[in-house]
Copies of this chain bind each other. A is one copy, B any other.
Amino acid sequence: MATIKDIAKLLDISVSAVSMALNDSHEIGEKTKIKVREAAKQLNYVRNGSAIDLQRKKTNVVLLITDNPTRPYFTDSLTVVQNELMMKNIDLVIITANDKHRGTAERFISENRADAVICMSKFISDEFVNLYANKSMPIFVMGRAPELIANEYAVNVALDYERVGEDITEYLIAKGHRKIAFVKGSKTSVGTSYRYKGYLRTLKRFQLTLDKELIFEARGSDYDHGYGITEKIIGKIASGQVEAIFYATDDLAVGGLQKLLENGIAVPEDVSIVGYNNYPISRMVTPPITTVDLHQQKIMRRVAKSLIAMVEGSKTKTDVVKKLQKDAIFQSEIIERGSVKNRE
């Protein structure tokens, strides 16, 4: 591997001259620049990132940590963050952290291999975040309970959990449904449990009695779990005990839909269903599923902007959090499609 030293030697000029030429410094002659570039090409020179980072005391990279990059909400977030960072010429690298592997993410954080991190995985513990968030590496965490982060350089991006789950329940009620079942997802998901609470609050607000038999617990939040748990709901639809099903996620709803159709239950004629999150798949099935869009992209755009402000040093956490909250019109929006019947 050729280094700038080799170039300097070949051209018989100083290393610093080479360095500056390569960085297109204004204080270097045009002819030297050309010579240097040619020599670089000739020697097959490639820059050494580690050396640059070491010297600059900056890596120019932002870490995006996720438990599973396949989830649609992740891509949405990714695209937005990517775009924001691209404008500042900051590199984005994605690292996974899940139940069976979080070493890489932790190592990248603890070894200062980034300038900032956005953590969308719940498998990096609160303790870890609190321990390592740092002026030279602020950490933004998402999807956790609001109270657990206590570090000047850790920002907990919390959704507007107050209203979550109420919107769509109200909607079902407005459409004339009274017997609304709820399908819970993964126990470790903060989002789905808040939706459940919103569902409960709304029933109460409308003075509907809560039928405990209409609460179903899936083991997880995915398609298969929705498919499986719906087995238990089928009988109650036939008997008129269930008019609508609120699945905590779109994936659950899609799985449920398939099970219903297989059993000759028409949606929405025999039962209405709704999901949550507005995942692409929710519109790809027949009938397309009415769901709720959390406007994750808006949120992520704000997160990215805040992060950049912190990395650039112009803002402190307090500023950033204040702005995030002020902008927090994280209003969810109901996406009406074909899976809910008007019973009135």
Contacts and interface: CB of A to CB of B under 8 A. Distances in A.
A250 to B, nearest CB: 11
A75 B86 contact: no
A271 to B, nearest CB: 15
B48 A111 contact: yes
A113 interface: yes
B59 A69 contact: no
Interface residues of A, number: 52
B49 A111 contact: yes
A54 B47 contact: no
Contacts of A49: 50, 53, 107-108, 111-113
Interface string A245-265: 000000000110110011000
Interface string A78-100: 10001000100101111110000
A281 B262 CA distance: 16
Interface string A52-87: 111000010000000011111011001000100010
A46 interface: yes
B59 A70 contact: no
Contact of A286 (B70, B78, B262): B262
For the complex of A and B, 9 pairs with smallest distance between CB atoms: A49-B111, A50-B53, A69-B69, A94-B94, A70-B75, A49-B113, A50-B54, A91-B104, A50-B50
A1 B110 CA distance: 12
A175 interface: no
A96 B78 contact: yes
A280 interface: yes
Nearest to A261: B286
Contacts of A284: 223, 254-255, 258, 281, 285
A78 to B, nearest CB: 7
Contacts of A48: 54, 111-112
A316 B258 CA distance: 50
A132 interface: yes
Contacts of A130: none
Contacts of A82: 96, 101
A136 interface: yes
Nearest to A69: B69
Given A69-B69, A82-B96, A254-B284, 12 more contacts: A46-B110, A49-B53, A50-B54, A69-B74, A70-B70, A70-B71, A91-B108, A92-B104, A93-B93, A281-B284, A284-B285, A285-B286
A91 B69 CA distance: 16
B223 A50 contact: no
Interface in A237-292: 254-255, 257-258, 261-262, 280-281, 284-286
Contacts of A258: 284-286
A51 B54 contact: yes
